[in-house]
Amino acid sequence: MKKIALISIIMVAIIFSACFAYAGEAACYTVKPGDTLYGIGKRFGLHYSAVMKINKLDSIIIRPGMKLNIPVEKGSFHIVKEGETLYAISRKYDVMVTEIKNRNNLSDNLIVPGMRLLLPGTAVAVSGHAQRVLSGSTSLDSDDILLLAKMIYAESRGESLKGQIAVAAVILNRLKSREFPSTIDEVIFQKTKGVYQFTPVANGKINLEPDRSSFYAAERALKGEDPTNGALFFYNPEISSDTWIKTLPVTKVIGNHVFAR
């Protein structure tokens, strides 16, 4: 028993104090309070799932003091400047707009200043995506989870964790419903009569960097939590001008959002 305990202590010490050598240029990063895997990956031009794979993490949860191995690839990304467009960036690097969008999991041309775009053809480590199963048939990969976390952050930052899980649950409920598209990407970027279903997509806030709480809320919702009782819609009654949505049966009120079916 003492031997097992000693091994556990050693393993924890390794996680929190050791960085290992990798081929090529690398950095040893110490996790700070408030850090997220997505934020750390973005800082170094990596997808957060690549950071997970390199460090053999089985969860998105990280703690201050942890040491992470970060392979650094110079020139592998472009930081968006004020007034830039995807077309201008594609011309600068002599690549196609669709290649940039595919590399960064972008479903439209919305970009914002400060956004870090991975460039096609660069040797950035990419994770073998860990598949998460929803409802026994629809699988979500790490790119889907990232997009879901972005939606949670854009729609419900400042809300309680329950309110954030609720927003995620609505997206997943739509994914399971025959009345809506069958992928996370299509659900979030869906248009009705030329208008986006969700305000953050229309105003570009969907591209904001999600925080740790957003990823945690996504994980909880993916595990089956649904504080909305099966809602397919949500709105803020203080700012919503849609009269139709207010006629739907209300399933729950959480924070500033009304959830309906």
Domain with 106 in it: what CATH number?
Answer: 3.10.350.10
Q: Would you list the DSSP string of 96-153?
A: -HHHHHHHTT-SSS---TT-EEEPTT-------PPPEEETTTEEE-HHHHHHHHHHHH
Return the percentage of the chain with pLDDT > 90, whole number: 29
Chain centroid offset of residue 205 CA: 13
Residue finishing a domain among 35, 54, 71: 71
| Residue where a domain stops, chosen among 118, 150, 183 | 118
Number of domains in the chain: 3
- Beta bridge partners, 118, equal 77
Beta strands in the chain (DSSP E): 26-30, 67-71, 77-79, 116-118, 132-134, 138-140, 191-192, 195-196, 233-235, 250-254, 257-260
| Domain-embedded: residue 52 | yes
Chain mean pLDDT for the chain: 77
Q: Which of 130, 107, 102 is nearest to 118 (CA)?
A: 102
Q: Is the same domain home to 109 and 180?
A: no
Residue at a domain's end among 118, 140, 174: 118
171 inside domain? yes
Structural domain contains residue 127: no
pLDDT at 139: 54
Q: Are residues 67 and 84 in the same domain?
A: no
What is the C-alpha to C-alpha distance for residues 222 and 143, in angstroms, rounded to an integer? 14
- 112, 170: one domain: no
**Residues 136, 190: one domain?**
yes
Q: Per the structure block, which two tokens stand in for 38?
A: 């997505």
CA-CA-CA-CA dihedral for 50, 156, 165, 36, to nearest 10: 30
**Residues 63 and 138 occupy one common structural domain:** no
pTM higher than 0.85, yes or no?
no
Range from 2-16, 102-116, 166-180 carrying the lowest mean pLDDT: 2-16
3-state secondary structure of 208: coil
**DSSP secondary structure code for residue 180 in this structure:** S
Confirm if 84 and 101 have CB atoms less than 8 A apart: no
Q: In what order do the strands lie in the sheet with 257-260?
A: 233-235, 257-260, 250-254
| 28 domain residue, yes or no | yes
61-104 pLDDT, tens digit per residue, is 888 888 888 765 444 678 888 888 888 888 887 778 887 887 76
Whether residue 63 is found in the same domain as residue 81: no
* 190 and 237 assigned to the same domain: yes
pLDDT (0 to 100) of residue 15: 39
Question: Do residues 59 and 108 share a domain?
Answer: no
pLDDT at 260: 95
Q: Dihedral sign for Cα 61, 216, 47, 157, please.
A: negative
In the block, tokens 């998460």 appear at 132
Residues 112 and 203 in one domain: no
My answer on whether 42 and 106 are in the same domain is: no
Residue 156 scores a pLDDT above 80: yes
Within-domain flag for 192: yes
**Bigger pLDDT: 223 vs 11:** 223
User: What mean pLDDT comes out for the span 3-27?
Assistant: 43
Q: Are residues 65 and 172 in the same domain?
A: no
| Position 143 in a domain | yes
Domain that holds residue 227: 132-260
Q: Is residue 60 part of a domain?
A: yes
Specify the 3-state DSSP secondary structure of 257: strand
Specify if 126 maps to a domain: no
Whether 157 and 250 map to the same domain: the answer is yes
Integer Cα distance of 210 and 221 in angstroms: 16
Per-residue pLDDT, 19? 56
Strands (E) located in 166-248:
191-192, 195-196, 233-235
Domain at 199, CATH number: 1.10.10.2520
